[in-house]
Amino acid sequence: MKDQKRLESHCSIISREPLLEFESRAAQAQLADTDILITGWGSPSIDVAALEAAPSLKLVAHAAGSVKHLIGPAVFERKIEVTNAAAANAIPVAEFALAAILFANKDVLRFQRLYAQQRRPLEMHQSFDGDSGSWHKKVGIVGASRIGRRVLDLLRSHDMDILLFDPLVSIAEARQLGADLVSLPELMEGCQTVSLHAPLLPTTRHMIDAGMLARMRDGATLINTARGGLIDQAALEAELVSGRLSAFLDVTEPETLPETSPLYDLPNVVLTPHIAGAIGNERQRLGRLVVDEIERFVAGKPLQHGLTLESLHHQA
């Protein structure tokens, strides 16, 4: 409510009902008077036709993460400024990934199964021996993206050995991030837990293929809160069905798996419906960032989270 009042103190709200399309006469009448367009998940694409209907548009403020599938070059050609709340959305994703890493290191899924099977106190000296736990456990981070860097920052307070793969990061920068820079094969072979944080680009699609999965240690865990297309889904399914690997999957390819997919019922898989990003009250953080950006824009100040056409290509 406070952020809504802030927004109203700077702008005239044309309508409190969201536009679900830009083609109707009613929608185009609103666009004709729009200087600032606030968008979110599920927003219609801002294509050339939408831009023609919005001759006064000066700012697109996206109250969510990536805008890659929402806008194109035409928006930037019009000199329309673009900002998004990816920085705010990165916070819950990183928290989710950290929780998954800690659960994977602690071998939670195995102990859950064991406890359910035996239904009695587990013998500490027998059941809890081995490599379970986070003490100097090798954790691999694939991609020093915005979220990847936040995960790396969260991991600093834990006694883990972090390996990083990112072709755009130098050895010195990786050390500043608290990680050792390695190749992707080295990371997959050397880590018991691997968390993906790369954007989905033509060069990263299926970067985790059957060969990379085969490099992972028996009993290792793969975590994906990035994009499902980073992994060869068929190859991953084969590994998970065999029981050799475990996984925490917040995204898959396709985004919603078929009803017949075995991943829904595997005991070594935690499958969630793309909830790592902001949900519930976390969405208020996204709205606050967007209102902050609009305040800066109206005051003639530079945007803190502005995007360019070039930076758009590197978004998830």
Catalytic site positions: 227, 255, 274
Q: DSSP per residue over 143-174, as a string?
A: --SHHHHHHHHHHTTS-EEEEEE-TT--HHHH
Note whether 179 and 148 are within 8 A (CB).
no
The first and second tokens of residue 160, run together, are: 């883990």
Q: Rounded distance, CA 120 to CA 200, Å?
A: 45
- E-assigned strands of 89-159? 137-142
How many Å separate Cα 251 from the centre of its chain?
9
DSSP classification of residue 271: E
Q: Rounded distance, CA 259 to CA 56, Å?
A: 46
Rounded to a whole number of angstroms, the distance between the first and last alpha carbons of the chain is: 30
